[in-house]
Amino acid sequence: MSSLLSDANQRLEKALRYVTIDEDVATRLHYPKASLMVSIPVRMDNGSLRVFQGYRVRYDDSRGPTKGGVRFHPSVSMDEVQSLAFWMTFKCAVLNLPFGGAKGGITLNPKELSKFELERLTRGYVDAIADFIGPDIDIPAPDVYTNQMVMGWMMDQYSIIQRKITPAVVTGKPISMGGSLGRETATAMGAFFVMQRALPQLGQSPQDTTVAVQGFGNAGAIIAELLYHAGYKVVAVSDSKGGIYAPQGLDIPSVRHIKEANRQLKAVYCAASVCNDVEHDVITNEQLLELDVDVLVPAALENQITAENADRIKAKYIFEVANGPITSSADTMLEERGIEVFPDILVNAGGVTVSYFEWVQNRSGFYWPLEEVNNRLEKSMTVETENIWAIARDLKVSLRTAAYVHALNRLDAAIKAKGTRDYYMN
């Protein structure tokens, strides 16, 4: 078994000690159902031909068609995609969505491609996987370095292949092509609802709570701004190049304005169109993780907190907005030190939840206002946060193990419904 997937399965093994499920269920969940690797030839703007490696994995479809994002990143591999599909399986079960887990990706640095090349690559990827996806089979969505435009290209290409308009084949599309209001902010908004529910119960009032956010992309930047407007003191943020730290707190709307305008992460305060630098320290991503703050929000890539740096983490609470930012070995170390980790399969599940809402709207042809989308999202995230908290308390386990237990019980019911050894042998 691959290294990332093996590490992910350690969380499953731990949770299996606290549930009574059929042996067939545990066996099924250790292996992805189907994994596809494709080559995508692309004619570049200079006339040369490049071939890119693409992947799509459907991990488990016991609860319904599989669901999961597509990422464009240099680190994409089959190992990574299978692990992400594994997490999506449990994430969908945690939120009680009628989906299984999937994931996809292409190995490349999208910043090196022109918009024309990126479109050709995206359409070529859909050509290669068209028989592997579909509204009732597997529904892709945006992930790292993919966005509404990329999803629009995917939907359009699939519709060309099928010779009919098929909006429900992907989610995270532009609104004009059948996308849902609230989808672009859903991952951050879902995480915010979890934090708003959890932190007051932990005795953390906004004005007295310091926060560091690693990753200032779509999810990280939005969660930072939501927390800022709610009164939390966001003292540090970072992107792939490094971070900024200001103990007095950062003006996140100003930081976002400069980032979006100049692609630079700067500690500034803006009044109208005039922005001035404020006193701050330039730090690395590694230093941000080790800051003495109340709340740490990893919102970048996986494997950021490992056995090598877990003993230097000072935050009281960690909310995983990224997928798999903490390794299983680091998990144990953090738990022993009393650091509470709110797991990714709950915290960042807002994205797939609103993707489900989008899929439902596409299939019904009836679209909801933003207020309804956010109200439904808040209800889902709050209910499952309470469910997982109750399981953790009753079983005296970590919140991560509780989340896996919660998901396993739902997956067990779905797999048993099709017949297992106990049914056939009794």
Annotated catalytic, 103?
Answer: yes
CA 11 – CA 32 distance, rounded (Å):
16
Catalytic residue among 14, 67, 91, 103: 103
Inter-residue contact 377 to 350 (CB < 8 Å)? yes
Question: Helix or strand or coil: residue 21?
Answer: coil
CA 112 – CA 200 distance, rounded (Å):
44
Question: Helix or strand or coil: residue 70?
Answer: strand
Residue 336 has what DSSP assignment? H
Inter-residue contact 300 to 216 (CB < 8 Å)? no
Closest C-alpha among 138, 120, 142, 118 to residue 130: 138
Helix count (H) and strand count (E) of the chain? 15, 14
Q: Are strands 295-298 and 210-214 parallel, antiparallel or unpaired?
A: parallel
CA 13 – CA 139 distance, rounded (Å):
28
The amino acid occupying position 333 is M
Contacts of 188 (CB under 8 A, 6+ apart): 218, 219, 220, 221, 222, 223, 226, 321, 350
Inter-residue contact 327 to 351 (CB < 8 Å)? no
CA 99 – CA 136 distance, rounded (Å):
10
CA dist 288 → 226, 241, 246, 297, 388 (Å): 19, 12, 11, 10, 28
CA 186 – CA 129 distance, rounded (Å):
26
Question: Helix or strand or coil: residue 285?
Answer: helix
Token duo for residue 269: 């305060």
CA 31 – CA 337 distance, rounded (Å):
32
Inter-residue contact 171 to 139 (CB < 8 Å)? yes
Catalytic site positions: 103
